[in-house]
Structures are given as structure tokens and as C-alpha cells.
Structure 1
Amino acid sequence: MTASVLPPAIVLILGGLVLPMLPVRLRGFAILALPLATLLLVWQVPDGVALRAPFLGYELTLVKGDALSRLFATVFAIMAFAGGLFALNQNRVVELAAALCYAGSAIGVVFAGDLISLFIFWELMAIASTLVVWSAGPSARGAGLRYAAIHLLGGVLLMAGIAGEVASTGSLAIGKLELDSLSRGLMLAGFLINAGAWPISSWLPDAYPESSWSGMVFLSAFTTKAAVYVLLRCFPGTELLIYVGLFMVFYGIVYAILENDMRRILAYSIVNQVGFMVTGIGIGTELALNGAAAHAFTHIIYKALLLMSAGSVLYMTGKRKCTELGGLFRTMPLTTICGIVGALSISSFPLTSGFVSKSMISDAAGIQRLEMVWYLLAAASAGVFLHAGIKFPWFVFFQKDSGLRPADPPWNMRAAMVLCAALCIGIGVLPGPLYAILPYPVAYAPYTAGHVVFYLQLLLFSGLAFFLMLGWLKRTMTITLDVDWLYRRLGLALARNLNQTAETAWIGVTNSAGRFARGVSSGVRRYHGTDGVLARAWPTGAMAFWMTIMLAAYLILSYLRS
């Protein structure tokens, strides 16, 4: 093994494994200190290979640094710290330990320099995130099982693709790939499953909202963004991703508008926002790729802020349905303000982080003369303001008073929300530091008169449309059916019917086989049993008679043949 730096991922992974064994007083310190130590190590990784290790005749590159990997590792470490701060009063140590391992595995993915290392960290991430879901308690077991099944499917596809790629090229290197073979198609499918691409996307709104009030904050940050990273690394400029991303964008909007559960609204919003990133990766220019990477960075922070706001409401009230909430701004002012900051950021409001990242993707489409893509992204930006920018804060904090009077959450949860809100505003006001760490040189000015006026007009008319259609948008105690209905309900019914049919057929086969066996046994006893025709004693005279007949027949036949 050759190493020039301590792997950043190992700090969080080992820390997560050791955390349950630490005294209670030290756990809080470890939860905050380990991500900060990891962030320091992230910026110690040089460009190029930093750690190699032999494995089954291959040379694995466990740590390889460049601008893109440092960008994602930085925001993952920040999110591990902010999520840990928010979850300090979480009494389920399994969740906290799994969350640290989860964050460390995601950092391992972005620093992996070969396909085998990437796959190992990819699967560790799936295992740790499943534990985060399960740690919420018995109510999350079914969702966790479905989550694990989908990610195991994605892992199988990815492993098959990697095996085919290594067999055909002999190389483990991670780099830009053309979508020109079955193995690369399988790899792309494995990546897209983790990204939440339709039709294998319903795992996200199925599992994430069933996690705890703190667990969903961690879950929102790593799996889908690690998938965005590998798509940026392996499939930039793949045209198929434009259409996949656009479908994700509108799929997420439609289902988020229909939802009544505040955490499912935000879960569908994750799919929607990742769709913007996937579209940018499909466009493939330097501006589009910078936009996708920057939007992944800002999305992790403002989505965490939104989920912290929703998690605080759930923690203080025990309720998550929009029909059960409302009027909370009176007693939860800080949570309301932070939720509004997150809502403005996801809506790309000027002076927030979403504005300086998402607009890069739209402008890249315009520069490439992809007019339809540009128009669709503009329409989608209005839809985002409808479902996340207005609907979430309105129905949770401002609609008709629910009679609930919860206070703001404990200090650590408030501190985590303030930290994320400050980052959302700080990046929006001063985007230069973010642009400086993007993978390609940035010559982009977000605050031009045209940009600002266009987005303000878009958001203004979206807000007007929301309040004009408020009567239609009011939520009722309903549920929405997604693609997962096919395997959660229809698939289960088909499996039961198939099982009954197979059981009936098997009973018929076994009964027929039994009757046949009994017939054969009866025939054998009839002729060869103790009283059978061929087994009982024959008189000597009768035997001599039949032998004479057989000998006469033999002589006649011999005569005729001669």
C-alpha cells in the first residue's frame, strides 16, 4: 500500500463504528468533531493519486483527488456536521452511527479512483442508509426493506456493468464513458437508480419520509448526490440524460403538488431538483457541468434546511400531514424563517444559493440553442416555487390555524437551521468562493439585470397562480399512487395468485404421480407378488407341456428360415 494522505472517508466510517461504544458524554463531541476533522483532511488530498492498494491482482486507487471530488467531499463533510448538530438530541445511537458511516461512504465514492473501490463504497453507502431508515422503528421496516431491495438491484446492475467493462477494456479507471455497450448501459442504469430516475424513483418518497425527524436530513444529502457525482464523472454529455432529467423535473413537481404529507412533498422535491442536475450533465458543456455540480452543492444545503424545518415541526408536534398543521408561525418563528429561507433558495430567488447555481444550467441550454429544454426548465422553475417555495411554508406555517402551539425546537436544532440558512444566503450574496472550487473555470455573472428581472417575474406570477388556485390546491386526507404501487400492491396480489395457482398445480401433479405410482405398484404385485401370475408355483407337467410347445415353435421357425 502506498499513501500520501489519510483517507478522509476512513475517519467518519471508523468513527461511526466506534460511536456506540463511546460514553454518552463523548458522543456529542464525536458527532461534531469527526466531520470537521474529515473536512480538514478533504483539503489535504492533492490532485492525482493519493492512496493505492493491491487487491486480487488489481491495483486499487482508494483516494484520487481533483476539483470535482473535493467539491462534493466538502459539502458532504459540511452536511455531516450540520446533520450531526441537528441530531444531537437523537437518542437512537444506531441512527447516528449509521449516519456517520453513510457520510463517510459517500466521501469514499467521490474520492475513489477505480471502479472496484467505487463499488465497495457504493454498497457501504446503501447498507448504512438502510440502517438510517430502519432505525426510525417498526413503522419503517417495510419501507426499509423496499429501499434495500431497490438498492441491491442497483448494485447488481452496477457490478454487472463493471465486470463487463473490465472484461472488455481491462481497465478499472474511472473516466468519461460513451454509452456504446451493454456493460456501460448497466452501469448507467445502476447510477440512475440511486439518482432517483423514473420509473425506479418511488423508493425515495417511499423510504425517506418514514425515517426519523433527523434521519431524513442525512438521507437527503448523500445517495442522490453521489449518483450525480458519478454521472458527472462518467457520462457527461450523454444526450439521453437530458430527457431523463426533464422527466424527473416534472414528475417531482406533479407529485409534490398532489401530496398532503409535508415530508413526502420535500422527498418528491429531491427528485425534481436532481432532475435539473441530470439535465445539466446531459447538456455536457463546461457551463452546464459547472451548473450541475454547483446546484448539487447548494441543493444539499437548502434541502437540508427545508427538512430540518419540517423535522422540527415533526419533533415538536408529532404531525406531518398538511391538513393537520397550520398557524405555527406564531410559536415557531425561527423555524418559520429558516423554512422560508430554504423555500426561497430552492425556488432560485435572487440573493439565495439556488439562484446562483440553477441559472447556470438554464443558460447553458440557451447557449447551446436547446430552446425547448430552456423553456421546460423555466416552466419547471415556476413549478418548484409552487410546490416547495410556497406550498410547503404556507400549509405548514401560515394556513388556517390548527390550534397547535409548539415552541421552536431545542438549541442544537435551531443552531443547525441557522447555519444552513446562513450558508444559503451567504452563497447567494457572494457566489465567488463556490465558483472558485468548481471543476471548470467560471466566467459567469448571475446578477445581470436580465437574469434578476426574469426570475423575479417568474416567481411573482407563480405566486399569483398559487393564491388564485388555492382552493384547488388545498389538501385533503388522501394518498397518491406512484409506480411502487405496481410491486407493493399489484405485484403482491399477482404473487399471491401465482402462489395459489402453483400450489394447486403442484397438488394436481403430486396426486397424479401418486396414482401412477400406486398403479405401477399394484401391477407389479399382480404379476410378481407372492400370489402373482409369474410368482406362484407351476405343476411339472404343465411346465413340460409349455417347454414342448416352445421347442416345437423354435424348430418350425428354424425350418422356415432355412
Structure 2
Amino acid sequence: MTEVLIHPGLVLIVGALLLPLLRGTLRSVAVVALPLLVLALVWQVPDGPAGQLRYLDHTLTPLQGDKLSRLFATLFSLMAAGGGLFAMTQKSRVEVPAAFVYAGSAIGVALAGDLVTVFVFWELMAVGSTLVLWSQGTEAAYRAARRYLMIHLLGGVVLFAGVTGHIVDTGDVAFSRMALDSPAHWLILIGFLVNAGAPPLSAWLPDAYPEASWSGSVFLSAFTTKTAVYVLIRGFPGAELLIWIGLFMAFYGIVYGLLENDIRRILAYTIVNQSGLMMVGVGIGTEMALDGAAAQAFVGVIYVALLLMSAGSVMQMTGKRKCTELGGLVRTMPLTAACGVIGAMAISAFPLTSGFISKSMVSQAALDGHHLWIWLLLTAASVGACLHAGIKFSWFVFFQKDSGLRPAEPPVSMRWAMVLFSLLCVALGIWPEPLYALLPYAVDYVPYTGAHVVTQLQLLLFSGLAFFVLLPYLKRSLTITLDADWLWRILLPALLRNVGMPLVRGWNMLVHAAYVLIMESTTLVLYQHRQDGRFARTWSTRSMALWVLVLLLGFLILYYV
């Protein structure tokens, strides 16, 4: 077998750095062709190590393939291509190159065979994603980027400590399954969970992603949380703690999504909800559950990106992003509305859409493992996802009372991106076998059984009925919801203003007073040492003898006292 020496992730990163040199049609072609080239390279990576190097007496494996890594690298390549097509008319010269660095780093994590390589690409992802957010250029985006970077640097420090401890304890850098049997492994798990959007830091995601541009949020939705799901599948399958963390995230996303008014914050909470469902599968840890988590990650990226493309198109053409400011857009944006509805149907696991053939795998794994309560909670979470992301988003943006806005459809590249992702949602729902063939374990599961279809349709009908019955209580106001992010959005700035700044001012006054005292003392000493100063004149022997006598007497007094 010929070793593959070209790393797909590095190709995308290097190409991203060269992208700003291109202009016009050449740049537009490169934005789509480069990720597709990377996709082809991903499928050239063989199973097992494809390239190794020595570093600090350790053998690193920056390129290693298997079915799981190939699945996620394929997903990230497709997402880079689709996001690039959607962002083709983006005026910022920074966003798409930064997004490709971000995507290339995610591919690097997926294809890494050792923890050192995982950490390097992990941190490079933080840089790329922060630049995507920062490139929006607004003051809100700058502030959100600072908060985002603060959280991810914290997670990176924790992960670095864990990786270092693991290497010291075991002498091994290979990235493989780990048990929660040492502080180092707990730190690695915590570092992974920060990127997954797990509590208590879940709020970084809905805080940051909605402040990106209309295209930037599409890129941001795809990589950070899904690389976290990948490394959890690789490193901690069967860790029961992940079941309960995942269920908390699923309901957290539903509750805050129902409360939210900003359409992109609704979808940001959806990302937390979906990551939680995947994490439940990782925690169950059976082959069916892990296949379900991986399949859910694959289809989830596509339909959440489609929903964000629909929201981004509305934002781009109207300049509005609040449910209270929108409504009736189906009249002038029928294609965008249709794509948004397909994304909503997919996230609601409607039959013949991609969500139907993936979500049920994790639920089936819970039943197979006799986890009745987990199955019931997953079913309730499925209903909640349908309510807040499936129905609420579509209704308030496209179908509620006419807002009077009459925007046109977005540019053709944005429409093509939405149509292609819509086709993927439907195609995978109708024909799931190609996706099942990519999953890490053999799939012995048939989603289209009479019982499953009827049960799911009943849940969807119940969700629709509940939404419209509760519609008077779901009307939103011009507010923003806060939870743990109150600490760094409200408390820390208040402490800085009311405690930090007075301390800084007091310290500056102290430093200034000390500076003045030193300068005046220095001036006095220098003055006394001038040619005519007190210490420069000639002193008589009698005076010197007198002072020596005074000093000796003082010493004797102190000695006897």
C-alpha cells in the first residue's frame, strides 16, 4: 500500500491562506473546488497510520484513517464546500479563508492518530472560528469574539493539562479509548465537553454564533461541536456520565429555544440540543448507539446548516433577525421558505427526511439496552426539538401574521447552497444505505417499519397541536435570555466597572505619588551634592569627630536598652 503523504486538512489550511490572493471568477471557483479536492484526498487516506514522525521521543501520527475518521472528515469537507458556496457573495475577505482554516483544522482532528496532533488542530480551530466571528466587523461581534476566545482558551488549557498528564502517566500519545480512571483523563473529558457546549458553559454557543455574519454562522454551526462529538466517540464511548449530560443539554436547548426571540439564537440552542442527543448515544456506548451518534452528527450538520442558511438569507435580505420583526415572508421568498421547511422537517425527524433515519437509532439503542427512562426522555426531547426548531422557526419567520416586509430571494449562490442541502436532507431520508455504509460499525437497522413510522407521525401531530394550542404563550418580546453567561456578560463587567477600575485608579495614584516622591528625593540629593551643596563642601575634623561620637553614643544606648 502506498502511504498518503498529503494531509487533506493541511491542503485546506494552506489553500485558505492563498485564497485572499485570488479575485473574481477564479476565487469563486476555488471556494468550492478546494473543499471538493480535499474531499477526494480524504478518501485516499487508507485505514491505519498513513504518516508518522518523531517528536520529543514520541511517535506522532498526524494522519490516520478508519471508518469513523473518514465519516467526519467527509462531513467537514462537504460542509466547507456548501458553506463556501453560500458565502460566495460575502464581502469580507477574511471570513471564508478563516472558515477554511477552521474546517481544515476540524479535518485534522478527525484524521489525527495521537493526542498531540489532536491538541494542535484543536487550538487552531479556536483561532479560525474566532476569526470567522470577528470578521463580521461589528462591535457586538468583537465583544462576542472575545468572550468566545476566553472560553475556548480555558478549554484548551484544561485539555493541554489532561494530555500532558496522560503522556506522563502512560508514556503513550496514541489517541484511543480512555477510561475515567485518572485526573488526566477527567481533564481531557472536560476539555472535550467545553467544545461540545456542555454545562455549565453551554451559553458560549448561543452567545457567539448569532453575532457572526449571515454566512459565518453557517460555518460556525458545523465544526466545533461536531469535532467534540467525534473525539468523545473515539475517546470515551460508554461513559455513563455522558448520558445525563446529553439529556440535560437536549432539554436545555429546548427550553431556551422556546424562550428566544432572535431566530439565529433559536437555532444556536438547537445545536446544543442536537449535540446533547449525540452525547446520549456516546454514553450508551453500544455499537448501535455509537452508529446513531455518528449518523446524527452527519445529518445534523446538514439540516442545521440548512436552517441557518434560511435564517441567514432572511437576515441578508431584510436586515431583521427577531421573530417579532418578521412574518409572512413566504410570499416573496418561497424558495427560502421551502428550504427552511425541509430543514425543519429533517430536524423534527419527519419520515422521508434525514433526521428520521438517524435519531431513531439512538432511541432504539436505548430500548435494546433496556434503558426505558432514557428512551422516554429522548422521545420527549424529540417532541421539544420539533416544537422550538421545527415549527417555531418556520412559523414565526415565514407564516405568521404579515410583517409588511417584501424582500426578494437571496443571490443565486445562496439559493443553490440551500437547494443542494435540501436535496441531501431528502435523499438521505429516502435512501439511508449510503450513510449507513459509512458508519463505524455494521448497521442492522431498518428505520421504515410500520410501527416506527406511525409512532413518529403521532409524535409530530401531537407537537403541531401543542404548538398551536400554546401559541398565545409563545409570542416573543424584544428580550434576550441569559443563563450561565450572566457571569461573564453581566457580573464580570460590573465587577470591572465598580471594583476593578477603582482599584486600578487607586494603584495609578499610588504609583504616581511614589514617582513624585522618588523624583523629589533624587532632586534634593543631587542638589546637596552640587559643588556648593552641603555634601560637596569641606568638613572640619572636629565636626567629623563630633558626629562619630554621636553615632557611638547612639549605638551604646540602643545596645543597653
Same fold, TM exceeding 0.5?
Answer: yes
Q: Which amino acid aligns with 2:65?
A: G
Partner of 2:400: 399
Partner of 1:124: 124
* Gapped regions of structure 2 (runs ≥ 5): 519-533, 557-561
Matches within 5 A, 1:303-452: 303-452=304-453
1:370, CA displacement in angstroms? 1.3
Please state whether the residue corresponding to 1:171 is helix, strand or coil.
coil
Distance across 2 between alignment mates of 1:79 and 1:169: 36
Does 2:213 correspond to 1:223? Answer: no
1:409, CA displacement in angstroms? 1.1
Matches within 5 A, 1:461-540: 461-499=462-500, 502=503
Partner of 2:49: 49
Normalising by structure 2, report the TM-score.
0.90
Given that residues 12 and 101 in structure 2 are in contact (C-alpha distance below 8 angstroms), is that contact kept between their aligned partners in structure 1? yes
Partner of 2:271: 270
Note the alpha carbon deviations across 1:272-317, whole angstroms, 9 max, x for none. Answer: 0000001110111111000000000000100111011001101111
Distance across 1 between alignment mates of 2:46 and 2:280: 30
Please state whether the residue corresponding to 1:496 is helix, strand or coil.
helix
Shift of the 439–500 alpha-carbon distance from structure 1 to 2, 3 Å rule, reads: same
Distance across 1 between alignment mates of 2:252 and 2:82: 29
Given that residues 5 and 45 in structure 1 are in contact (C-alpha distance below 8 angstroms), is that contact kept between their aligned partners in structure 2? no
Please state whether the residue corresponding to 2:62 is helix, strand or coil.
strand
Distance across 1 between alignment mates of 2:145 and 2:251: 26
1:538, CA displacement in angstroms? 8.0
Q: Which amino acid aligns with 1:93?
A: R
Partner of 1:101: 101
Distance across 1 between alignment mates of 2:358 and 2:540: 98
Shift of the 208–512 alpha-carbon distance from structure 1 to 2, 3 Å rule, reads: closer
Normalising by structure 1, report the TM-score.
0.90
Partner of 1:560: none
Q: Which amino acid aligns with 1:61?
A: T
Note the alpha carbon deviations across 1:229-265, whole angstroms, 9 max, x for none. Answer: 0000000000110111011001100111000000000
| Percent of paired sites with the same residue | 61
1:504, CA displacement in angstroms? 8.0
Distance across 2 between alignment mates of 1:175 and 1:77: 24
Distance across 1 between alignment mates of 2:276 and 2:53: 36
1:512, CA displacement in angstroms? 12
Distance across 2 between alignment mates of 1:513 and 1:261: 52
Please state whether the residue corresponding to 1:93 is helix, strand or coil.
coil
Given that residues 363 and 375 in structure 2 are in contact (C-alpha distance below 8 angstroms), is that contact kept between their aligned partners in structure 1? yes
Given that residues 214 and 315 in structure 2 are in contact (C-alpha distance below 8 angstroms), is that contact kept between their aligned partners in structure 1? yes
Given that residues 3 and 51 in structure 2 are in contact (C-alpha distance below 8 angstroms), is that contact kept between their aligned partners in structure 1? yes
Given that residues 119 and 160 in structure 2 are in contact (C-alpha distance below 8 angstroms), is that contact kept between their aligned partners in structure 1? yes
Distance across 1 between alignment mates of 2:513 and 2:409: 71
Partner of 1:11: 11
1:507, CA displacement in angstroms? 8.4
State which drifts further: 386-395 or 365-374: 365-374
* Gapped regions of structure 1 (runs ≥ 5): 518-529, 554-562
Partner of 1:90: 90
Partner of 1:164: 165
Distance across 2 between alignment mates of 1:232 and 1:51: 23
Distance across 2 between alignment mates of 1:26 and 1:510: 58
Q: Which amino acid aligns with 2:142?
A: R
Partner of 1:187: 188
Note the alpha carbon deviations across 1:401-432, whole angstroms, 9 max, x for none. Answer: 00111111111111111110111011111111
Does 2:258 correspond to 1:257? Answer: yes
Shift of the 508–327 alpha-carbon distance from structure 1 to 2, 3 Å rule, reads: closer
1:161, CA displacement in angstroms? 0.5
Q: Which amino acid aligns with 2:198?
A: A
Q: Which amino acid aligns with 1:215?
A: G
Distance across 1 between alignment mates of 2:33 and 2:467: 43
Partner of 2:455: 454
Partner of 1:113: 113
Given that residues 4 and 44 in structure 2 are in contact (C-alpha distance below 8 angstroms), is that contact kept between their aligned partners in structure 1? no
Q: Which amino acid aligns with 2:499?
A: L
Shift of the 511–262 alpha-carbon distance from structure 1 to 2, 3 Å rule, reads: closer
Distance across 2 between alignment mates of 1:499 and 1:312: 42
Distance across 2 between alignment mates of 1:495 and 1:505: 14
Please state whether the residue corresponding to 2:94 is helix, strand or coil.
helix
Shift of the 496–427 alpha-carbon distance from structure 1 to 2, 3 Å rule, reads: same
State which drifts further: 209-218 or 17-26: 17-26
Distance across 2 between alignment mates of 1:68 and 1:267: 26
Distance across 1 between alignment mates of 2:146 and 2:508: 32
1:509, CA displacement in angstroms? 8.1
Shift of the 316–501 alpha-carbon distance from structure 1 to 2, 3 Å rule, reads: closer
How many aligned residue pairs are there?
536
State which drifts further: 36-45 or 488-497: 488-497
Q: Which amino acid aligns with 1:167?
A: V
Given that residues 5 and 44 in structure 1 are in contact (C-alpha distance below 8 angstroms), is that contact kept between their aligned partners in structure 2? no
Please state whether the residue corresponding to 2:408 is helix, strand or coil.
coil
Shift of the 129–506 alpha-carbon distance from structure 1 to 2, 3 Å rule, reads: closer
Distance across 2 between alignment mates of 1:211 and 1:512: 46
Distance across 1 between alignment mates of 2:176 and 2:284: 17
